[in-house]
Amino acid sequence: MTGPLMAYAADQLKERFTVHELWKAEDKAAALAELKDRVRGVAGGGAHIKIDGALFDALPKLEVVSNFGVGYDNVDAAEAGRRGLIVTNTPDVLTDEVADLAIGLLLATVRQLPQVDRYLREGKWLAGAYPLTTSLRKRKIGIVGLGRIGKAVAHRLEAFGVEIAYHGRSRQADVAYRYYPSLVEMAQDVDTLVSVAPGGDSTYRIINAEVLEALGPNGIVVNVGRGTVIDEPALIKALQDKTILSAGLDVFEDEPRVPAELIALDHVVLLPHVGSASVHTREQMGQLLVDNLKSWFDGKGPLTPVVETPWKKA
């Protein structure tokens, strides 16, 4: 195990396997040297230890990496694929939870719910009503990354009667929403961006100053994907200069370190990466991590391999 997992998953792993908690080792290099001929699987949790070529070199008997989370930018999956290793993640089980949170964060940002709560608690209602806010009514929503979670967000947004568009690597034949191959062009035509895009080189800071400028002074950005998708300095400047109206963020570029400039802004909503953070969903994610390892070592292959390490049963 490269990082701590909730007891629900960790206890099951310890019942079935000999588990080495690498993140606890004071001298990790020495621990890896001692384990190099024994470790065949990795349970990856969090960003405590990078799961990359260096770790693969240290564990020559490694066969499979089971990652906790649908995102796996902490794992060099491409390198794993080149070496014939299997990497799995935990899709689907967190889709609804993250989509629910995205809608909640969008509403909280649009209607300034945290700010309104503080207004009441500070006794300011006694002096007068809270100023009117913007509304979700008549907003045009552009979804960045229409994968499983993006589709679930779009499905929920349909109930609000808003216009929906999306940007991604390619047009999807099974959806009726308008597709934009250019993120800037979509930003020009919508006033709200909801990013559910994964991390990685292909999405690094794609929501940049040009996109924010195109979004305009009524624009709102919500991010429940990966913090690296947004150019944070550009976002901070756009919020300070009122180039856009507001932002609701559950993810950041260098977690858990959030820029002081963002925290100082009262017209944004900031959450500590809690998109899937319910007991129910984290237990389901942990169970899928465990089930992937059990299935692999039972000779049945992985349950949810990532695209970089596809699996075909012999």
**Annotated catalytic sites, by residue?**
226, 255, 273
Helices (H), the chain: 7-16, 28-35, 53-58, 77-82, 95-110, 113-121, 148-158, 183-189, 209-215, 232-240, 260-263, 279-297
Helix axes 148-158, 95-110, angle to 10 degrees: 50
* Distance, CA of 306 to CA of 314 (rounded, Å): 18
> Distance between alpha carbon 199 and the CA centroid of its chain, in Å?
8
Tokens of 46: 């969090």
CA atoms of 309 and 71, how far apart (whole Å): 14
Compute the distance between CA of residue 6 and CA of residue 104 in angstroms, rounded to an integer: 25
Residue 216 near residue 242, CB atoms below 8 Å: no
Burial class (CB in 10 A: 0-12, 13-18, 19+), 18: exposed
Instruction: Provide the sign of the torsion angle of the four alpha carbons 111, 114, 118, 120, taken in this order.
Output: positive
Q: How many CA atoms lie within 13 A of 35 on its CB side?
A: 23
Q: Which DSSP symbol is given to 51?
A: B
